[in-house]
Amino acid sequence: MFRVTIANSKGGSGKTTLATNLASYYSSQRLKTALIDYDTQGSSSYWASRRPDSLQQIQVITAYKQTMQVTRSWFLRPDRETERIVIDSPAGLDIAQFKQTLNESDAIIVPVLPSAIDIHAVAHFIADILLLGKIKREQGRIAVVANRARRNTLVYQRLERFLQTLGIPFIATLRDSQQYIKASEGGFGIFEMPRANAKDLESWQPLLKWLDSCEQAKNNLQVAQ
């Protein structure tokens, strides 16, 4: 089971877009996928509820809800034989409370928008992950993705320079594209759209390649142990 967490304490960074499209990608590859939604807005859960029956279904775990019928750990448990877990973290994320989830993750993706406010916020968030979450850079489990970005703008160039100073991989730039909105409205991911924009799909390849390397590193560690 390979577990990916999408995290940023600032709202509006595109966590849900990243989480739902990654979950749909794994599902489109015929991998049994679970999507754990910690965001109180329930956007990932709503997206999954709109998925057409013709698509492979994704298990949704509404982690933002409270339940008295079963234990918390049982409520959050994915189905047996689940191969991929994608976690959509909440805005205003408390690193201390979310520490266990972060440490159990095989990969942590931090989306950031190309704006001065978002750059400032993500700098503090990443510092908290490293210090409070005890996530080590050298483990290679954390990376940054520029979201809804246009490469030919000055603010993107400032974001790119900033991310290169973090000592954390800046692995992909996802385009500012209407395709994500169209896909979301129908419960799709862009990988499942019949007429997906080739440039949008191409922008995901470095991210998917990085995730594959994280999975390989996990498998190698398990063999070594």
What residue spans define the domains of the chain? Answer: 2-224
pLDDT number for residue 74: 64
Higher pLDDT, 151 or 13: 13
User: Does pLDDT of 141 surpass 80?
Assistant: yes
CATH 3.40.50.300 fits 2-224, yes or no: yes
What percentage of residues in the chain have a pLDDT greater than 90? 41
Which helix H or strand E contains 143, and what residues bound it? strand 142-149
Residue 24: Cβ-neighbour burial (10 angstroms; 0-12, 13-18, 19+): buried
Interval 60-104: pLDDT, tens = 999 888 776 666 676 778 888 999 999 999 888 888 888 888 999
Higher pLDDT, 133 or 170: 170
Task: Supply the DSSP symbol for 145.
Answer: E
pLDDT number for residue 22: 97
The Cα-based distances of 152 to 132, 146, 163, 175 in angstroms read: 35, 13, 17, 11
Which helix H or strand E contains 59, and what residues bound it? strand 59-62
- Separation of first and last alpha carbons in the chain: 17
- Is residue 213 classed as helix, strand or coil in its secondary structure? helix
pLDDT number for residue 34: 96
SS3 letters across 69-126? CCCHHHHCCCCCCCCEEEEECCCCCCHHHHHHHHHHCCEEEEEECCCHHHHHHHHHHH
Distance from C-alpha of 177 to C-alpha of 36, rounded to nearest angstrom: 25
CB atoms within 10 A of CB 83: 14
Per-residue burial over 177-203, b if 16 or more Cβ lie within 10 Å, else e, is eebbeebbeebbbbbbbeebeeebeeb
What is this structure's pTM? 0.90
Q: Provide the pLDDT confidence category of residue 148 given band limits of 50, 70 and 90.
A: confident
Task: Supply the DSSP symbol for 47.
Answer: H
